[in-house]
Chains A and B, each alone.
Chain A
Amino acid sequence: MSTTVAPPVGPARTRRPSGGLFRLSTASGIGLGLSLVWFSILVLLPLSAVVGAAAAGGWTAFAGTLTDPQTFAALRLTVVEALLVTVVNAVIGTIVAWVLVRDDFVGKRLLDVVIDIPFALPTIVAGLVLLSLYGPESPVGFNIVNTREGIFLALLFVTLPFVVRTVQPVLMEIEVEAEEAAASLGASRFTTFRRVILPSLVPAITAGSSLGFARAISEFGSLVLISGNTPYQTEVASLKILKFLEGDNQAGAAAVAVLLLLVAVVVIVALDIISRRVARRG
Chain B
Amino acid sequence: MSIDITGINKKYGDFVALEDINVSLPTGQLTALLGPSGGGKSTLLRIIAGLDTADSGTINIEGADATRLPPQKRNVGFVFQHYAVFKHMTVAKNVAFGLEIRKRPKAEVAAKVDELLKLVHLSQFAHRLPSQLSGGQRQRLALARALAVEPTVLLLDEPFGALDAKVRKELRDWLRRLHDEVNVTTVFVTHDQEEALEVADEIVVINEGRVEQIGTPDQLYDEPANDFVMSFLGEVTTLNGQLIRPHDVEIAAMPQHGDAVQAVVSRSLRVGFEARVQVLTDNGEEVTVVLTRSHARHLGLEAGQNVWVRAAEGALTVPSLRAV
Binding site for B on A (CB under 8 A): 1-13, 175, 177-178, 180-188, 191, 195-196, 199-200, 279-280, 282
Closest chain A residue, CB of each to CB of B72: A186
Closest chain A residue, CB of each to CB of B97: A185
Query: 8 Å CB contacts to A: which residues of B69-93?
Result: 70-72, 74-78, 80, 82, 84-89, 93
Pairwise interchain contact A180-B51, C-beta atoms closer than 8 A: yes
Q: Does B101 contact A (CB under 8 A)?
A: yes
Query: 8 Å CB contacts to A: which residues of B83-119?
Result: 84-89, 93, 97-98, 101-102, 115, 118-119
Cα distance, A79 to B261, chains bound together (Å): 94
Smallest CB separation, B131 vs chain A (Å): 7
List of A residues within 8 angstroms of B148 by Cβ:
185
Pairwise interchain contact B78-A5, C-beta atoms closer than 8 A: no
List of B residues within 8 angstroms of A175 by Cβ:
82, 84
List of B residues within 8 angstroms of A196 by Cβ:
86
Closest chain A residue, CB of each to CB of B135: A10
Cα distance, A200 to B88, chains bound together (Å): 7
15 chain-A/chain-B pairs, Cβ below 8 angstroms: A1-B115, A5-B121, A8-B170, A12-B125, A12-B132, A177-B84, A178-B87, A180-B78, A181-B80, A183-B72, A184-B49, A184-B71, A184-B146, A187-B72, A200-B88
Pairwise interchain contact A177-B82, C-beta atoms closer than 8 A: yes
Pairwise interchain contact B121-A9, C-beta atoms closer than 8 A: yes
Cα distance, A178 to B142, chains bound together (Å): 11
Smallest CB separation, A246 vs chain B (Å): 50
List of A residues within 8 angstroms of B149 by Cβ:
185-186
Q: Does B10 contact A (CB under 8 A)?
A: no
List of A residues within 8 angstroms of B174 by Cβ:
5-8
User: Which residue of A8, A177, A186 contacts B136 across the interface (Cβ within 8 Å)?
Assistant: A8
Closest chain B residue, CB of each to CB of A202: B88
Q: Does B171 contact A (CB under 8 A)?
A: yes
Pairwise interchain contact B88-A199, C-beta atoms closer than 8 A: yes
Closest chain A residue, CB of each to CB of B87: A200
List of B residues within 8 angstroms of A181 by Cβ:
78, 80, 84-86, 142, 145
Pairwise interchain contact A13-B119, C-beta atoms closer than 8 A: no
Smallest CB separation, B177 vs chain A (Å): 5
Query: 8 Å CB contacts to A: which residues of B140-162?
Result: 140, 142, 145-146, 148-149
Pairwise interchain contact A184-B181, C-beta atoms closer than 8 A: no
Q: Does B240 contact A (CB under 8 A)?
A: no
Pairwise interchain contact B72-A184, C-beta atoms closer than 8 A: yes
User: Which residue of A3, A6, A180, A200 contacts B84 across the interface (Cβ within 8 Å)?
Assistant: A180
Cα distance, A195 to B86, chains bound together (Å): 9
Closest chain B residue, CB of each to CB of A181: B84
Cα distance, A280 to B88, chains bound together (Å): 6
List of B residues within 8 angstroms of A185 by Cβ:
77, 97-98, 101, 145-146, 148-149
Cα distance, A10 to B169, chains bound together (Å): 13
List of B residues within 8 angstroms of A195 by Cβ:
86, 97
Of all A-B residue pairs in the complex, the 4 with the closest CB atoms, nearest first, are: A8-B170, A10-B134, A185-B98, A177-B84
Closest chain A residue, CB of each to CB of B82: A177
List of B residues within 8 angstroms of A180 by Cβ:
51, 71, 78, 80, 84
Cα distance, A185 to B135, chains bound together (Å): 21
Closest chain B residue, CB of each to CB of A185: B98
Q: Does B182 contact A (CB under 8 A)?
A: yes
